[in-house]
Amino acid sequence: MSMLMKVAGLTRSPGDPRILSTGPGTLAGPDHLARGLGWFSIGLGMLELFGARRVTRTLGLEGYEWLIRACGAREIGSGVACLSANPAPGVAARIAGDALDIATLAVAARQGDVRRGNAQIALLAVIGVTVLDVICHQALTARHARPPGPRRDYHDRSGFPKGLAYARNVQG
Amino acid sequence: MKALVWHGKQDIRCDQVSDPGIEDPRDAIIKVTSCAICGSDLHLFHNFIPAMKNGDIMGHEMMGEVVEVGSEAKGKLKKGDRIVVPFTITCGQCDQCRRGNFSVCERSNRNKEMADKVYGHSTAGLFGYTHLTGGYPGGQAEYLRVPFADSTHIKVPDNLTDEQVLFLGDIFPTGWQAAVNCDIEPTDTVVVWGCGPVGQMAIRSAILLGARQVVAIDCIAERLSMAQAGGAITINFQTESVIERLNDLTSGKGPEKCIDAVGLESHVSMGQPDTLLDRAKQAVMMESDRPHVVREMIYVCRPGGIISIPGVYSGLVDKIPLGIAMNKGLSFRMGQTHVKRWTDDLLRRIEEGQIDPSFVITHTATLEEGPEMYKLFRDKQDSCIKVVLKP
């Protein structure tokens, strides 16, 4: 973006305040984690989408390139959602995707192929990432969701010091 | 000084920054006594408004005490004056300012060349907003440089509190302008979509301007309760059919006047499939705004009616049923607020006790607590509707 700004000539005035030191901000651990998972998801999705053949060779899943590409598209979608203003649904989508990945890899890990070791390693990695996804989703929900329970009642806040009836009949 | 600084998407920090100084003879420096977080700050927070830059100071709703005055502003301001700063920076001399079209001042946008290319013609400079509107440092800070200060200020009397007059800088005239743009007649039903701070002001403005009935639409209970307190009939769009209720309230004819106080981030829900599509397109940058409310207004509005849009839109929207709007003969009125066009009248109404805009404040905090307040406001936690910060 800063490159774009320079090309567009959008520079600050020399007199504008400059940052001397940075302080507490809006982003907390769960937000950073969701972003990390989002970029990870997009990276993995690209790999699956454009390197499906290599992935199937490594895992012993030849013939299932279509499945890997579909998983790649799903990963990119959930990754984009994780980077959005409300990342919780994106992380939830990742958890659902993790379940599908675990089911697929569990099949690959049990086959008689010599490469089942690769599938077992991948399965362990996905289980690890799933744990991270679940932790992230719980933390995001705790931080950003509106807690259940009664809301404040603002029925006493008309904004009309002389009353609503007076306000309705104000002449100019 | 301390200031709330934009560092990127959803990343606002309370930083230590250098103090502003006089750069032009028409400048003034104010010590900010109160500032607010506005709904449109959330669009910047979410990075839905293009051309923000790491290091930009947030805030366009602020007031304070004049502590330094440039030589050419001295005729209008002096040290110690208590002023509210309009969010639109106005030279007061160009053709548009002379016509009262202050939000499209021809001279105050210091990135005018770029704005000319993007918008066709430049609009006014705004505080704490995108660099397309000048990228001026905002007022969520201890001090603020006010460019064109001889014109860009509203003097306020000492007998009114900060809380009573602070919103003259933005949300009160914004809600007022939205209602005035409706040309309200005594027989009119005015419907306000969105019961955030601007929606609340629009509701009260429509009441003061004599609407027969005002209807408010939202899904947040506490916001609906505040709307009801202001005289509105409320519709919770998650539990009721907006179309059916509006038809019931208008003998099947639809409301004459519709106000969109929601803007580009309309609520996304499974019950409104268009909002899901908008959200997906927005996420992959195929559409910049989510215009569900505009679509709904066009559909429900009575033929010959007026659609008023104070809610902020940033760029491109899809699937607007312009054919319906055309055939129904609807009029559209919108724009950033010409703040100073309205403030003399609104200040008088506050002084006379017709209205006290402080009703909308639900949270008051320090500048250091600002980042947490952004989160609270965005997530609508703790029944938050409006946050005022005290630097």
B146-187: pLDDT as tens digits: 999 999 999 999 999 999 999 999 999 999 999 999 999 999
**Residues B114, A104: Cα–Cα separation, whole Å:** 52
Residues 6+ apart with CB under 8 A from B318: B278, B281, B287, B291
Helices B197-208 and B221-229: crossing angle in degrees, nearest 10, is 20
From the list B23, B12, B147, the residue with the least C-alpha distance to B91 is B147
pLDDT tens digits in sequence order for chain A, 172 residues long:
555 566 566 667 889 999 999 999 999 999 999 999 999 999 999 999 999 999 999 998 899 999 999 999 999 999 999 999 999 999 999 999 999 999 999 988 888 777 889 999 999 999 999 999 999 999 999 999 998 888 899 999 999 999 999 999 987 7
How high is the mean pLDDT of chain B? 97
Residues B188-194: what's their mean pLDDT? 98
List of chain A residues whose C-beta atoms are within 8 Å of the C-beta of residue B265: 85
From the list B205, B200, B174, B175, the residue with the least C-alpha distance to B337 is B174
For the ranges A3-17, B68-82, B267-281, B342-356, the lowest mean pLDDT is seen at: A3-17
Residue A81 C-alpha, separation from nearest chain B C-alpha, in angstroms? 7
Look at residue A2 in the predicted model and tell me its pLDDT: 53
Pick among 3.40.50.450, 3.40.605.10, 3.40.50.720, 3.30.70.20: CATH of B172-334: 3.40.50.720
Q: Considering Cα of B75, then B80, then B81, then B84, what sign does the dihedral take?
A: positive
Considering only the beta carbons, identify the residue of A21, A146, A161 that sits closest to B15.
Answer: A21
Q: Count interface pairs A-B at CB distance under 8 A.
A: 172
What six digits make up the tokens of B382? Answer: 């703790």
> pLDDT (tens digit, 9 = 90+) per residue, B326-367?
999 999 999 999 999 999 999 999 999 999 999 999 999 999
Look at residue A9 in the predicted model and tell me its pLDDT: 60
Query: Which residue ranges make up each domain of chain A?
Result: 28-143
Look at residue B256 in the predicted model and tell me its pLDDT: 98
Instruction: Write the CA distances from B238 to A7, B229, B278, integer angstroms.
Output: 45, 20, 18
> Has residue B238 got a pLDDT over 90?
yes
* Residue intervals in chain B for CATH 3.40.50.720: 172-334
Residues B321-327: what's their mean pLDDT? 98
Residue B356 C-alpha, separation from nearest chain A C-alpha, in angstroms? 5
What six digits make up the tokens of A26? Answer: 């809006």
Look at residue A5 in the predicted model and tell me its pLDDT: 61
Kindly identify which residue of chain A lies nearest to residue B172, measuring between CA atoms. A159
Q: Is B222 on the interface with A (CB under 8 A)?
A: yes
**Residues A120, B309: Cα–Cα separation, whole Å:** 57
Written as one letter, the residue type at B17 is V
Written as one letter, the residue type at B65 is E
Considering only the beta carbons, identify the residue of B20, B284, B372 that sits closest to A17.
Answer: B20
How many C-beta atoms surround the C-beta of residue A46 within 10 A? 14
Q: Which residues pair with A19 in a beta bridge?
A: B17
List of chain B residues whose C-beta atoms are within 8 Å of the C-beta of residue A81: 283
Using only the alpha carbons of chain A, give its radius of gyration.
Answer: 25
List of chain A residues whose C-beta atoms are within 8 Å of the C-beta of residue B111: 9-10
Look at residue A28 in the predicted model and tell me its pLDDT: 96
Vertex A38: Cα angle to A33 and A42 (nearest 5): 150
* Residue intervals in chain B for CATH 3.90.180.10: 2-170+337-390
> Could you tell me the pLDDT band of residue B6, with boundaries at 50, 70 and 90?
very high
Which of B29, B131, B214, B236 has the highest number of chain A CBs within 10 A, making it the mutation to test binding with A? B131
Look at residue B20 in the predicted model and tell me its pLDDT: 97
Look at residue B43 in the predicted model and tell me its pLDDT: 96
Residue A158 C-alpha, separation from nearest chain B C-alpha, in angstroms? 4
Look at residue A4 in the predicted model and tell me its pLDDT: 57
Considering only the beta carbons, identify the residue of A18, A143, A160 that sits closest to B17.
Answer: A18
The H or E element containing residue A106 is helix A88-110
What six digits make up the tokens of B391? Answer: 């630097």
From the list A97, A56, A92, the residue with the least C-alpha distance to A75 is A97
> Has residue B39 got a pLDDT over 80?
yes
Look at residue A171 in the predicted model and tell me its pLDDT: 74
CB contact under 8 A, A153 and B141: no
Considering only the beta carbons, identify the residue of A1, A16, A81 that sits closest to B137.
Answer: A16
Considering only the beta carbons, identify the residue of B10, B51, B230 that sits closest to A85.
Answer: B10
Place of tokens 């709307």: B227
Considering only the beta carbons, identify the residue of B18, B57, B382 that sits closest to A20.
Answer: B18
List of chain A residues whose C-beta atoms are within 8 Å of the C-beta of residue B283: 80-81, 84
Does A5 or B65 have the greater pLDDT score? B65
**Residues B81, B75: Cα–Cα separation, whole Å:** 12
Look at residue A111 in the predicted model and tell me its pLDDT: 81
**Residues A47, B220: Cα–Cα separation, whole Å:** 42
Fold of B2-170+337-390: Quinone Oxidoreductase; Chain A, domain 1 (3.90.180)
Residue B83 · residue B63 · CB < 8 Å: yes
* Interface subset of B 197-216, CB within 8 angstroms of A: 200, 204, 207-208, 210
